[in-house]
Amino acid sequence: MNGPLLEVRDLRVAYGHVEAVRGVSLSVAAGEIVALIGPNGAGKSSTLNAIGGLLRPTGGSVRLEGRELAGVASHAAVAAGIVLVPEGRAILQRMSVAENLRIGAEARPWPGGREQARAAIEDQIRRFPSLQRRLDAPAGALSGGEQQMLAIARGVLARPRILLLDEPSMGLAPLLVRQIFDIVGDIHRQGTTILLVEQNARMALQVAQQAYVLERGEVALHGPAAELAQDPRLQAAYLGGDVEAS
């Protein structure tokens, strides 16, 4: 495939008369992790939600492998291969862990049918051993970390061409944050392209290949994540010093 897997151009999102995303452009190559970082209210989640079909943009283009998807509903985005794990996890609280996983696996057809889907569910259960012990439990009874693991597993089971992760570490203890980012890295190594919104800029820049910094709804900086991690402006604003110190 020539060109980026995902290309966003001049994306705009408004809430009433307030424009939250003002002309954001970004691209994600197949096989990359790309991070969106920036302060609260910068438009990161609004950008991701517009790409994933949860918000209808007021302008701009969202192309996946050249196919225009701006403004499509979330189910159409999933069918095309854009799978969003939203902030707040959005799992089905009253359904069991096993039912949540099965619903994820049913989001897009599997070439090998039900047998391949069942094997994929087993793979995710092996990836998240804590879920294996809770398969029959209501998803709402899980801890915050377990709920995030379930949300990510369900997203992967939807067979994304690109996985959108919105604040996967939010509200988690430091040890669980590290575990979640290890899992994100593992998913990436197995071939999944990821667009990551993350308040923890230090961790995001460590796992990503490319990064964009959003401020007041616009792209303020972008480039290789390793280079941005050494940018004095980012270190002062988001990293609290040298990123290598962590």
DSSP 28-94: E-TT-EEEEE-STTSSHHHHHHHHTTSS--SEEEEEETTEE-TT--HHHHHHHTEEEE-TT----TT
How many residues in total does the chain contain?
A: 246
Residue 136's pLDDT is 95
Q: Are 31 and 204 in contact (CB under 8 A)?
A: no
Q: Which token pair is 159?
A: 């067979």
Residue 245's pLDDT is 33
Other beta carbons within 10 Å of 15: 11
Residue 174's pLDDT is 87
Residue 109's pLDDT is 85
Distance CA 173, CA 237 (A): 22
Show the domains of the chain with their CATH numbers. 6-81+160-245 (3.40.50.300)
Distance CA 24, CA 57 (A): 11
Classify 224 as helix, strand or coil.
Answer: strand
φ, ψ of residue 170 to 5 degrees: the values are -60, 130
Alpha helices in the chain (DSSP H): 44-51, 74-80, 97-105, 113-127, 129-132, 144-157, 174-189, 201-207, 225-228, 232-234
Residue 1's pLDDT is 57
Residue 87's pLDDT is 83
Question: Nearest-CA neighbor of 51 among 102, 5, 7, 4?
Answer: 7
Q: Over its length of 246 residues, how does the chain's per-residue pLDDT go in tens digits? A: 578 999 999 999 999 999 999 999 999 999 999 999 999 899 999 999 999 999 999 999 999 999 999 999 999 999 999 999 998 767 889 899 999 999 999 988 888 888 999 999 999 999 998 899 899 999 999 998 899 999 999 999 999 999 999 999 988 888 889 999 999 999 999 999 999 999 899 999 999 999 999 999 999 999 999 999 998 877 777 665 444 333
Residue 233's pLDDT is 79
